[in-house]
Amino acid sequence: MWASVYRTTIIVLSVAVCSRGAPTVLTKLGEIEGIVENEVHQFRNIPYAKPPVGNLRFSKPQAHGPWNGVLDGTQFGPSCLQEGPPEYERMLPHQRQSEDCLSLNVYVPGHPSTMSNKSVMVWIHGGAYLFGQAMYFDASHLALNGDVVVVTLNYRLGVFGFLTSLDGRVPGNNGIWDQQLALEWIHEHITSFGGNPRSVTLFGESAGGFSVTLHALNPMNIGLFHRVIAQSGVPTSTLTLCPSSKTISSAVGISLNCTVDTFGEVFISCLRQISAERLLSAQQEIILIPDPSMKVELRIGPVVDGLLIPDVPSNLMTNLSSPSYKFFRTLDFITGITNQDGSIVSKSLNTIAKFANFDINLGVPSNVFFGMLFPSLVSAFYGDSVNFTLSKGYVCPLYASSDLTEQAIKVVDAFTDAIFVVPSIRILNFHSNGNPESKTYQYLFERPHLDTHEHKLLPLWIKGSSHTSELLFLFGIQDFFRKYNITVDPNDLVLSQQMMKYWSNFAKNGDPNSADLPLWKAYDSDERSFISLDTEITLRTRLYADRVTMWEETLPNMLQTSSRYT
């Protein structure tokens, strides 16, 4: 109820001014000075929430409110506290971090004008809910080429964003609440930047993809956005929610001697007095403990709280009368994957290689896959223990090989299918079946990762499109040579232009197509059309049909357990 009241239309006087110097925008909250780069007006480090420190640590975010004077929007704000992969640091404008990090950046093509009424795209970054930041993603080329306003945002990570007791004492999900408050802010203030609050597309990748689809299942968000692009992350995946969040949360507190009245007021008060640096260090010590069991789950992340996440997404999707299901089907929807998204498990494979004594760069032995990896994957997928010997005969033709390298590639295929492909097919079917209200599209990205430095961190046999490979095509490969001395193939520059056009077309009218692009046919559960995004874009049907059939039909019929997918 409060959300609809909060979003009641308010008449606001706002003026966009571009003098000979820096551009400024006057909003209801105050004036902001920005900067022009790549012919795009950028307004950076705009606070949408009060600093989540002191008594506001581990609490829902509170709206920031007005500021005095002119807000300096010329520099990116700090990242939220994290220990991210070192390979990303060289691509960041700076390495500053702070607990006071809840800000957003607005990219405006041309001069900001309240009369522009441009469609808006809101980006939520990934990073396993443990790392990532808005400033990593240069949205200027997407804004300019697509003629859309793009917003990128920070949200709290790790224990700062997802500490939980799994009950009313510490409900958790504060990082997701941060995102939701940012959406409220955008809805109320984006007109000051020339954006149209009635044409907003929410898009994100990996944890960002899971996030945007969780928002798409929450009817509290009606009116805040109208279209969704979920890249390598949908709510029916095993990585959407985090069953171990409470365990990690408790372990962090105990390691810091906050053991009295666990998850009560004394416990939380103790944690609020611990320095942010010590909290982060305690979190990392716990989540980085090597785990050779190959559990297919997040270390910390969103949980069902009964409000922001009302129920397990699979339950919401199968309840055809639920407000969540009805809201989701009003939204135009794109989802897709990279052809080796399963490379997300490469670091875990390194750990297992040490325990099982094999060289990961040479491949993965079949006995490791069938004896350890695949049983864990199947158990995670179906939510229970399984009789694996019953299913092995049906798995071998698809995922077995006597060649170490080929077997390793098939391992990645199996994780790609179970974590990304089959869950995406399932939600595409839910969205499209008998749905005249909105449109549905699927893609497969097939170009290798452009950053050779990052690609070298993966096992040598990963040659395809690894997890996150598509991001650089949407966010700034045009500047790669100038910034990082990375040469980009002209064919990749063309693909980047095409992808930005597809994405921005969709943001404007719910349809990615235009006369200057190869046809992208809408998805339906019978034909299952999808587009292959490569240097030659092609239209295909029934993505990985044999592998999908095994997970959707063969295994559920053979395993001695009831499947949540049947």
> Do 240 and 385 fall into the same domain?
no
Please state the three-class secondary structure of 16-51 as a single string: EEECCCCEEEEECCEEEECEEECCEEEEEEEECECC
Contact 57, 156 (CB under 8 A): no
Q: Which of 335, 563, 532, 531 is nearest to 446 (CA)?
A: 532
pLDDT single digits (tens) 473-507: 999 899 988 888 888 999 999 999 999 999 999 99
> Do 251 and 394 fall into the same domain?
no
> Do 162 and 211 fall into the same domain?
yes
Query: Averaged over 58-69, what is the pLDDT?
Result: 97
Please check whether residue 319 lies inside any domain of the structure.
Answer: no
| CATH code of 447's domain | 3.40.50.1820
pLDDT at 19: 41
Please check whether residue 117 lies inside any domain of the structure.
Answer: yes
Residue with tokens 């997300």: 344
Query: Tokens representing 207?
Result: 């944890």
* Domain that includes residue 243, residue range: 24-305
Instruction: Determine phi and psi for 166, rounding to 5 degrees.
Output: 60, 25
6 pLDDT band, cuts 50/70/90, is: very low
pLDDT at 386: 59
- pLDDT higher than threshold 50 for residue 11: no
Total count of domains within the chain: 2
Please check whether residue 335 lies inside any domain of the structure.
Answer: no
Count of C-beta atoms within a 10 Å radius of residue 5:
7
What is the number of helices (H) and of strands (E) in the chain? 23, 15
> Do 238 and 98 fall into the same domain?
yes
Among 305, 323, 357, which residue terminates a domain?
A: 305
pLDDT single digits (tens) 358-381: 999 999 999 999 888 888 888 888
> Do 287 and 350 fall into the same domain?
no
* Cα–Cα distances in angstroms (integers) from residue 443 to residues 103, 147, 539, in the given order: 31, 22, 9
Instruction: Determine phi and psi for 163, rounding to 5 degrees.
Output: -60, 135
Query: Averaged over 448-461, what is the pLDDT?
Result: 78
Q: How far apart are CA 172 and CA 156, in angstroms?
A: 11
Strand partners, 195: 118
Q: How far apart are CA 433 and CA 453, in angstroms?
A: 43
- pLDDT higher than threshold 60 for residue 268: yes
20 pLDDT band, cuts 50/70/90, is: very low
Contact 22, 127 (CB under 8 A): no
517 pLDDT band, cuts 50/70/90, is: very high
Considering only residues 379 and 271, tell me which one the structure prediction assigns the higher pLDDT.
Answer: 271
Please check whether residue 265 lies inside any domain of the structure.
Answer: yes
294 pLDDT band, cuts 50/70/90, is: low
pLDDT at 329: 97
pLDDT at 167: 86
> Do 273 and 383 fall into the same domain?
no
- pLDDT higher than threshold 80 for residue 522: yes
pLDDT at 293: 65
Query: Averaged over 32-51, what is the pLDDT?
Result: 97
pLDDT at 444: 98
Please check whether residue 527 lies inside any domain of the structure.
Answer: yes
Please provide the DSSP assignment of 216-284 as one string. Answer: HT-GGGBTTBSEEEEES--TTSTTSS-TTHHHHHHHHHHHTT--TTTTSHHHHHHHHHS-HHHHHHHHH
CB-count exposure of residue 485 (10 Å: 0-12, 13-18, 19+): exposed
- pLDDT higher than threshold 60 for residue 7: no
> Do 390 and 292 fall into the same domain?
no
Query: Tokens representing 560?
Result: 């001695």
Query: Tokens representing 489?
Result: 């193939």
Q: How far apart are CA 201 and CA 507, in angstroms?
A: 5
pLDDT at 390: 52
> Do 172 and 277 fall into the same domain?
yes
564 pLDDT band, cuts 50/70/90, is: very low
pLDDT at 231: 98
Strand partners, 72: 33
> Do 422 and 543 fall into the same domain?
yes
pLDDT single digits (tens) 548-561: 999 998 888 776 54
Question: What is residue 483's three-state secondary structure?
Answer: helix
Please check whether residue 18 lies inside any domain of the structure.
Answer: no
pLDDT single digits (tens) 112-162: 988 899 999 999 999 999 999 999 999 999 999 999 999 999 999 999 999
In the 8-state DSSP scheme, what is residue 478?
Answer: G
pLDDT at 392: 60
Considering only residues 265 and 294, tell me which one the structure prediction assigns the higher pLDDT.
Answer: 265
> Do 296 and 356 fall into the same domain?
no
Please check whether residue 312 lies inside any domain of the structure.
Answer: no
> Do 399 and 290 fall into the same domain?
no
Its pTM stands at 0.93
Contact 107, 42 (CB under 8 A): yes
Helix segments in 115-219, DSSP class H: 140-146, 158-162, 174-189, 207-216
* Cα–Cα distances in angstroms (integers) from residue 505 to residues 334, 453, 514, in the given order: 12, 32, 7
pLDDT at 295: 74
* Mean per-residue pLDDT over the chain, rounded: 90
- pLDDT higher than threshold 70 for residue 565: no
- Sheet containing strand 15-18, edge to edge, reads 15-18, 23-27, 30-33, 70-72
Query: Averaged over 450-459, what is the pLDDT?
Result: 74
Query: What residues contact 162, with CB distance under 8 A and at least 6 apart?
Result: 129, 156, 172, 173, 174, 175, 242, 245, 249, 300, 301, 302, 303
pLDDT at 385: 56
41, amino acid identity: H
- pLDDT higher than threshold 90 for residue 450: no
Query: Cα angle at 442 between 429 and 461, to 5 degrees?
Result: 115
pLDDT single digits (tens) 383-407: 765 555 555 666 778 899 999 999 9
Contact 296, 383 (CB under 8 A): no
Considering only residues 353 and 520, tell me which one the structure prediction assigns the higher pLDDT.
Answer: 520
Query: What residues contact 29, with CB distance under 8 A and at least 6 apart?
Result: 64, 65, 66, 67, 189
Q: How far apart are CA 258 and CA 332, in angstroms?
A: 46
442, amino acid identity: Q
> Do 355 and 432 fall into the same domain?
yes
Q: How far apart are CA 15 and CA 231, in angstroms?
A: 35
According to DSSP, the β-strands at 40-47 and 23-27 are: unpaired
Please check whether residue 261 lies inside any domain of the structure.
Answer: yes
